[in-house]
Structure 1
Amino acid sequence: MHSHLITYCLAKKGAAEDYPFGPSPLVMKVGGKMFALISKPEENGFTHIALKCDPEIAENLREQHAAVQPGYHLNKKHWNTIICDGSLTNSDMQDMIDHSYELVFKSLPKSMRDSISAVI
C-alpha cells in the first residue's frame, strides 16, 4: 500500500516529494504546498496518510470509517489521517487523495495553477 500511495500521488500534475521533517514522513506537495503526508509502515505494518479535506466531508468520513481519524499533528478541522489497514478500497483512497490535491491546487495563485496545468 505504501508504494502505491506514493506512486499515485506523484502521478498528479506538478506533484513533488519533500522531506522537510527528516527521512520520514514523506510530504507530497503541489506548488510548494502539502497535499499528503505519508508515514512509513509502523510495527503493525500499516501506513498512515494525512490528507486535506473539506471540513464537512472530513467529519462524514470519520463517522463512516474507523480508519479515518482527525489529522495527527495537523489542523483537525481540515485534515484527516487515514490508517491504511485494508478497510478502505484503493478507489476510496484515490478519491481522498484526489480531493486533497484539488483543494490545495485550487488554493494556489492562478499563474501557478496555469503553469502546472500547462505541463504535458
Structure 2
Amino acid sequence: MNQLTTEQYILGKPESSIYFPFGDDVKVFKVKHKMFATLSLGTGNEKNTGGKMAGHYCVNLKCDPDEAIMLRDIFPSVIPGYHMNKATWNTVILDGSIPSGEIERMIDNSFNLVVSNMSKKEQQSLLLHR
C-alpha cells in the first residue's frame, strides 16, 4: 500500500475523520475524536529508527502489546511507535515490503481497539455504519 491507498482505507472506516494538530505534514485520523492512526513522510532524521523511515510514508497504528512485539519480529518495516507509546503503538513503514492485506488488518485492529474503549452508546452508533 502507498500513502494514498492507506489514507483512503483509513478514511473508509465508519465516522473516521482527518485532523492536522501537528501541522500539515502529519495527518491524524480519529474516530469520534479518538486517534487511531497517523500518517506522515519519514525524513530520515527520526531518532532510534536507523534511518528506516527516510523517504517512506509511515503510519502509526494502535496495537495490542503482545501483537505489537510479534509484528515487529515478523516484519522489519514494523517498528515501535515513533513519538507514541511504544508498548501500544507500532509504526508501519510503507516501503512495499508488507502485503496490503496485512496493513489493512493492522488498520482494522487499531480502529477496533479504539472503538472497544468507547462507551456502549458510541459503539452502537458506529455499528449502524457497518
TM-score normalized by structure 1? 0.93
The equivalent of 2:123 in structure 1 is 113
Query: Shift in Å at residue 42 of structure 1?
Result: 4.5
- Partner Cα distance (2:127, 2:115) in 1: 10
Superposed displacement of residue 41, structure 1: 5.9
Greater than 4 Å deviation, 4+ residue runs: 41-44
The unaligned stretches of length 5 or more in structure 1 are none
Q: Distance in 2 between matches of 1:41 and 1:72?
A: 10
Report how many residues are paired: 120
Q: Secondary structure at the match of 2:41?
A: coil
Which residues in structure 2 correspond to 1:1-120 (within 5 Å)? Answer: 1-40=2-41, 42=43, 44-119=54-129
| Larger helix share, 1 or 2 | 1
Sequence identity (%): 38
Q: Gapped runs of 5+ residues in structure 2?
A: 45-53
The alpha carbon displacement at 1:116 in A equals 2.3
CA-to-partner distance for each residue in 1:34-90, whole Å, 9 max, x for gaps?
Answer: 110000365853100000000000000011111000001100000000111111011
TM-score after normalising by structure 2? 0.86
**Distance in 1 of aligned mates of 2:109 and 2:17:** 17
